[in-house]
Structure 1
Amino acid sequence: MGPQRPSAAVAPVRHLVAAAETGDGARFATLLAESSAPVRVRPLTDGVFHSAVRSAAAGDVRVSVVSGSPCTVTRGLDLIGSGDPGVLVVALPRTGRAEVEQDGRRCLVEPGGLVNYVTSRPYEVTFREAYEMVVVSIPLTALGAHADTLAGRTAVAVATDTGPRDVVATLFGTLAAKIDGCTAGEASCSTEYLADAIVSLAIAELVDIPPHGAGDDLADRVLAHCLAHLSDPGLTVESVARAHAVSVRYLHKVLAPRDITLSAWIRTQRLERICRDLADESLRGRTASAVAARWGLTDARHLSRALRAEFGTTATEIRRSGRRAAG
């Protein structure tokens, strides 16, 4: 049984934009509910929260571009009704990394990678930095006999740098770039075939992912764990190894193919976020020490030296340049 063909009608482009709001993310949650499914949004930074959603549809297949400030998007059991239609979401971060958790798995998706999750079960997506992501939503009913298989391959990061998946990533990126050119009423065979192509490519991209358990990537889980615990001063290579029940030596071996030294990687991630917060005018009232402590660096005596070594600038210079940019 092949995939069910969505109807050819093209919905108008939806510019669901909330350029700025207070820090509760309520407006963004409303936009996401209108474009996909009800969720809760928790901002991860203080001050003004930015978000935007643009989307267009060919029949029941929807392509959206979602962007915004660091946040966590959660769909819990209380938001999932028995009559909710199941939707497969295939996401491609363009900027910023995404942490996706569903069905007991958690992965870290780098820009250009792919991941899928379904709206009929609880999930959580976290962005710890400003991001833009292409989201393709496909009803499970359109996937035919592949629906159960694909719905069981959630929260597994898929690289797209080689092979057929590069074609998938390129198509998704092109669709996102063309959203603003779509108009209502373009019912045509080409639109019908495009919807079929999207569904077919999603099947091709996901069907050969190993089933539950076998596709878990320890390196992805380790990096996601570190990003989730950057604010913890006790985050060390040793604590990460203990959390994943492996030795420090094995942890280094797992990360070696990615050319990652974990202690240096954690340090860089923390300094990147400290640098971002120091340049944020809405956080000007916080001392550099307080900003550093927020990201797990409790000894701020050497902060400017560390920033200069990493980025060639000091905390004072970062704050001064941030004020000039705001002015």
Structure 2
Amino acid sequence: MGECVVRLDDVPAGDRFEVWWESVAKAVVSVEAFSAHAEDFWAEMRSVDLGPVHLTRVSCVGFEAHRSASRIRRSDPEAYQLSVTVGGRSGLEQGHGQAVLAPTDLVLYDTSRPFKAWSAADGDGLSEGLIVQFPHDVLRLSETIVKPLLGRRMSGRHGVGAILGGLLQQSLSNAGHLLAADRGRLSTIVVDLLTALLAHELEKDPDTLLPDSGQVLVLRVQDFVERHLDDLSLSPADIAAAHHVSLRHLQRLFLQEGLTISGWVRDRRLERCRRALADPLTDSVPINVIAARWGFISDAHFNRLFRRTFGLPPASYRRHMRDGRVR
């Protein structure tokens, strides 16, 4: 997918406010907006598709926006959005979370829940920000883990937040030089970095963010599994022992999140197979070799699992990725 740019320079001043928020509804999400500058409104938006991740940079004068329950019922992409403040000041309220954001700060919110957002211009009269949007299931974290972090300010000055913010800006700046396969890889990296950032926030202050420390343990176990997926001998018992808990206790925690340990490990290995099949650099590697690399020995079993998970058999998925017909 290519880039999309929306500018208001050629739109009559009296129509700009309405045209802008119609464009926002199409590219980001539908909201009800207000601005002291509605009569002389100016804004600019540039969007890039990275596959399941949609990245948008916005420059505009100050505004306030509300997403109500009635708007959610009319239109809901069922997605998370990550906002990164680049210039000026901004804020977001969702549930019990209230974030006031300075440049580099990040906040995660959910389009399926009401929220209020605002932006105030910097000295040059404009505010700037990045918005990352992706479907709920792309994050692969349960709602109970993510919900306490919605609407909470996360710093982008140091650590994982700084790495993620820098990657987003570089991805947008270099979008014109990216191949389809590059975009897919970047999409995966963005989601992985966001998951690492959420894990960092949970471990930093688990008592105030998550009353149930078991949810923190689940997230730590998931991170451990991601780092040891290439160990095909890794068993649920090994995972439990590595975290000094009983297997029964760990299984119970995963069940509370609607998961099983073995099923989650299998799904993550399937995802590694999908990434390999989407990568042109692996075109010379037979599908059964890729499957066996991640523990799927039976071709028939692998084909069934892959099709059930991703909607196409492995060979069709690889072929359609080269044709650009699969997002």
Report how far residue 150 of structure 1 moved.
Answer: 2.3
Alignment correspondent of 2:78: 86
5 Å matches for 1:137-286? 137-179=133-175, 181=176, 186-188=179-181, 190-210=182-202, 214=208
1:128 pairs with 2:120: yes
Alignment correspondent of 1:13: 3
- The answer to whether the 8 A contact 2:105-2:153 is kept is yes
Alignment correspondent of 1:40: 32
CA-to-aligned-CA distance 1:142-165 (integer Å, 9 cap, x gap): 112345422431111111222222
Relative contact order, CA 8 A, sep 6+: which one is greater? 1
- Could you list the runs of 5+ residues in structure 1 that have no partner in the other structure? 1-10, 217-327
Report how far residue 82 of structure 1 moved.
Answer: 7.3
Alignment correspondent of 1:58: 50
The structure carrying a bigger helix percent of its residues is 2
- The answer to whether the 8 A contact 2:81-2:111 is kept is yes
1:97 pairs with 2:113: no
Structure-1 separation of matches of 2:106 and 2:191: 15
Report how far residue 18 of structure 1 moved.
Answer: 2.3
- The answer to whether the 8 A contact 1:134-1:176 is kept is no
How high is the TM-score relative to the length of structure 1? Answer: 0.56
- The answer to whether the 8 A contact 1:17-1:31 is kept is no
Structure-2 separation of matches of 1:68 and 1:119: 21
Percent identical across equivalent pairs? Answer: 19
Please tell me the residue identity of whatever aligns with 2:161.
R
Please tell me the residue identity of whatever aligns with 2:115.
Y
User: Over aligned residue pairs, what C-alpha RMSD do you find?
Assistant: 2.6
Cα distance change, pair 162–28 in 1 and its aligned pair in 2 (3 A): same
Please tell me the residue identity of whatever aligns with 2:46.
R
1:72 pairs with 2:68: no
Report how far residue 74 of structure 1 moved.
Answer: 1.5
- The answer to whether the 8 A contact 1:92-1:112 is kept is yes
Structure-2 separation of matches of 1:77 and 1:132: 27
Please tell me the residue identity of whatever aligns with 1:187.
A
How high is the TM-score relative to the length of structure 2? Answer: 0.56
Alignment correspondent of 2:106: 114
CA-to-aligned-CA distance 1:199-227 (integer Å, 9 cap, x gap): 111111123334899359xxxxxxxxxxx
Q: Secondary structure at the match of 1:208?
A: helix
Query: Alignment length, in residue pairs?
Result: 202
